[in-house]
Chains A and B, each alone.
Chain A
Amino acid sequence: MIKVLIASEGTVISPTVFEFVKQMNGQMPVLLSGLFLPASHFTDLLTHNACPAQDLPCDEKMHRGLVELVYEFIGFCKKNNICYTLYSDGGRFELPELQYETRYADLLLIGEELLKIADTGSWCGSCLADLIRDSECPIVIIPQTYTAPTKNIIAFDGSAASVYALKQFSYLLPGFATNETLFMAVENNIAEDASALNEKQLTELAKSHYPSYRIETEGGSILRYFSGEMNEAGTLIIAGSYGTLPGFNVGCTNLAPDIQCQGAPLFITSY
C-alpha cells in the first residue's frame, strides 16, 4: 500500500483529485495523507516566499473552511474505504516540512489550480519547476476537467530523468501502466534526434513494464499536448523532471515557460 500525499488548494480539494484517488485505490489500496494548507501559503512555499509562521494569512473564515475540508476528506475516505491520515497546517508549516512530508510519501497529488495563472489559464512554469525540485517523491498534477486515464504518453528523450520517471510510474501506478502506452520523442538538447527511441534497451525496459506499448519516433508531436493544441480525453502524461518537458531549460528554472496540459494528468519526477 503506497502512501499518497494530497495537498489542498486552500479550502478545497478538486473533485478530480478525489476521482483520481478513487481510481488508484480501486487498482491498489493506498494510504491517503491529507495536507491542509491555506492556498496562498502553499503557493508561497513553492516560490520560496513563505512568510514567517506567525504572519500566516489564516483568518477565522479560512480556518473554518479548512476544518470543513478536513471533514469532507474524512467522509470521502470512509465512503470509499480508503485508509487516511491527516496533517493540518496549524499555521506553522514551512518549506522544510513540506519537503519532509514528501520524503516520507510515495506520491504527491495536487490539483492544477495550485499552479494555474489566472490570466492565461496556463501553468506557472517556475512554480512547477520549484515544486519538482523540492519534492522528494513523484508528483501527479490533476487537471480540473478529468476523464479517467485509459492511455499513457511518455515524454521520452533518452535521459536518465525520463527513464527514471517511466520506471517509477510503473512501480507506483501498476494499474495504469497496463493501459495502452505511447513513448513519444521529445526534442531537446539531450536528444537532438529521435535515436534515443530506437535503443534496444528502451524496448527491453518498455516490454518489462508496459505490456501494451508503442514507440513513436516523430519528435515534436508531444508538443501538441503541452501547447493545448491536442486535448485527447483519457490521456495521462509521464515526464521526468522539467528538463523532459518541451521548452524547459535544464538547470535554469527562471526560463521555465508557462505551459498547458489540458485535460491530462501529468506524472512528473524529480531526478
Chain B
Amino acid sequence: MKKIIFITNGCSLDCDALDVACYIAGNARASIKGLFFEAADAAGDAVLSGLDPAPCGDILGEPDTIGFETATETRALNIQRFRTLCEKRNIVCTIHCMGEYDIAEALIESRFADLIVAGEKTAASDAQGRFPAPLLKALLQKAECPVIIASERISHIDEVVFAYDGSASSVFAIRQFAYLLPFFDNRRMIVVQVGDIPEVSYKQQVSELLKGYYSQIGYEVVHGKDPAFELFNFLKRRDHCFIVMGAYGRAYLSRLFKDSTAEPLIQLMKQPVFITHH
C-alpha cells in the first residue's frame, strides 16, 4: 500500500484536488495523509471554500451555510470533511496540521511519501500575487516524491501524455508514473516530443521500456521552436488525459510557470499533471 500526501489550505479545502487524491488512492490501494496548512490570510479566508457549488459533490451532502468565526473552526470542519470523504471511499487517512511557514516540514513529509497531490488552490497566487504560491513552488523544486497538480476532478482518463525530451528527467518521470499509477495500464499512452526532429529520440529504447507496462503506445513529434508553447497547444486540444513531465525548472516546465502574455500556461491546463524532478 502506497502513501499519498494531500496538501491543502486548512481554511479552504480543495475538494477537486481531494477528489483526485481519493481517485488515485482508491485505484492504487493507497492511504492518504492530509497536510492542512494554516493560510497566510487565514483570518480573511475563514469561510468554507468550495461549498458553492456543493462541496465534494454529493458525497458530503448539502452545502453548510452556517458561518464560522475563526480560522481554527473552519480548519477543524475541513478536516472533518476530509475524514468523512476518505471514510466513505474506504481510504485509510491520517491528518497533520502545519503552520503557515512549515515548508521545510512539508518537504520532510515528501521524503517519506510516494506521491503528493496538490490542488489549484495550493498553486494559486498568494497575497503578494506570486505564482505559483511559495508552497507549491518549493514542493515542485524540492519535493522528494512526485507531485500531481490537479485543478479539476477526474471523471475518467482516456490517455496519458508523456512530455518527453530525451532527458534523464523525462524518462525518470515515465518510470515513476508506471510504478505509482499502474492502474492506467490499459489506457492509450502518447509520447510527445517537441522539436525539429524526424522521430522521438531513442524511440527503440523508450518503446522497449514502455512495452513492459503498456499495450497501446503512440509517438508524436510536435514541430516548433518554443517547446512550452507548442506543448501547451498540443495539450489544450485534448480532454480526459493525464500529463506526465520531468524536472521543474528545466525545459517545458520552467516556461509553463513564467508569466506569458495571458495567464501562466499551467493555470490554463485543466488536466492533472504528474511532475517529478530528479
Docked-complex contact B144 and A163, CB < 8 angstroms: yes
Q: How many Å lie between the Cα of A152 and that of B114 in the bound state?
A: 20
> Given A33-B208, A163-B112, are A136 and B171 neighbors across the interface (CB < 8 Å)?
yes
Q: How far is the CB of A34 from chain B (nearest CB, A)?
A: 12
Within 8 A of B (CB), among A160-190: 160, 163-164, 167, 171-172
> Given A104-B209, A171-B179, are A201 and B144 neighbors across the interface (CB < 8 Å)?
no
Within 8 A of A (CB), among B1-38: 1-3, 30-31, 33
Docked-complex contact A205 and B212, CB < 8 angstroms: no
Q: How many Å lie between the Cα of A204 and that of B30 in the bound state?
A: 12
Closest to A105 in B: B209
The answer, yes or no, to whether B205 is at the interface (CB within 8 Å) is: yes
Q: How many residues of A contact B (CB 8 A)?
A: 27
Docked-complex contact B3 and A1, CB < 8 angstroms: no
Chain B residues lying within 8 Å of A199, measured Cβ to Cβ, are: 112
Which secondary structure dominates where chain A touches chain B? helix
Docked-complex contact B205 and A101, CB < 8 angstroms: yes
Docked-complex contact A167 and B213, CB < 8 angstroms: no
**Of A3, A103, A167, A201, which contacts B212 at CB under 8 A?**
A3
> Given A3-B212, A101-B205, are A136 and B172 neighbors across the interface (CB < 8 Å)?
yes
Closest to B209 in A: A104
Closest to A203 in B: B112
Docked-complex contact A201 and B112, CB < 8 angstroms: yes
Within 8 A of B (CB), among A83-117: 85, 100-101, 103-106
Chain A residues lying within 8 Å of B179, measured Cβ to Cβ, are: 171-172
**Of B1, B30, B111, which contacts A163 at CB under 8 A?**
B111
Docked-complex contact B31 and A103, CB < 8 angstroms: no
> Given A163-B144, A171-B179, A172-B179, are A2 and B205 neighbors across the interface (CB < 8 Å)?
no
The answer, yes or no, to whether A31 is at the interface (CB within 8 Å) is: yes
Docked-complex contact A167 and B114, CB < 8 angstroms: yes
Q: How many Å lie between the Cα of A101 and that of B209 in the bound state?
A: 10
Docked-complex contact B3 and A205, CB < 8 angstroms: yes
> Given A1-B213, A104-B171, are A205 and B113 neighbors across the interface (CB < 8 Å)?
yes
Q: How many Å lie between the Cα of A100 and that of B168 in the bound state?
A: 8
The answer, yes or no, to whether B108 is at the interface (CB within 8 Å) is: yes
The answer, yes or no, to whether B236 is at the interface (CB within 8 Å) is: no
Within 8 A of B (CB), among A39-94: 85
Docked-complex contact B202 and A104, CB < 8 angstroms: yes
**Of B1, B111, B180, B208, which contacts A201 at CB under 8 A?**
B111
Closest to A106 in B: B175
Docked-complex contact A202 and B112, CB < 8 angstroms: yes
Docked-complex contact A103 and B171, CB < 8 angstroms: yes
Q: How many Å lie between the Cα of A186 and that of B15 in the bound state?
A: 42
**Of A101, A171, A205, which contacts B112 at CB under 8 A?**
A205
Q: How many Å lie between the Cα of A199 and that of B105 in the bound state?
A: 13
Q: How many Å lie between the Cα of A105 and that of B144 in the bound state?
A: 21
Q: How far is the CB of A131 from chain B (nearest CB, A)?
A: 16
Closest to A162 in B: B111
Chain A residues lying within 8 Å of B145, measured Cβ to Cβ, are: 167
Docked-complex contact A1 and B112, CB < 8 angstroms: no
The answer, yes or no, to whether A120 is at the interface (CB within 8 Å) is: no
Q: How far is the CB of B157 from chain A (nearest CB, A)?
A: 21
Q: How many Å lie between the Cα of A227 and that of B30 in the bound state?
A: 38
> Given A3-B208, A31-B212, A85-B208, are A201 and B109 neighbors across the interface (CB < 8 Å)?
yes
List 10 A–B pairs whose Cβ atoms lie within 8 Å, in order of A's numbering: A31-B212, A100-B202, A101-B205, A104-B202, A105-B209, A136-B168, A204-B33, A208-B2, A208-B30, A208-B114
Instruction: Report, nearest first, the 6 A-B pairs whose CB atoms are least far apart.
Output: A201-B112, A104-B205, A171-B179, A1-B212, A205-B112, A208-B3
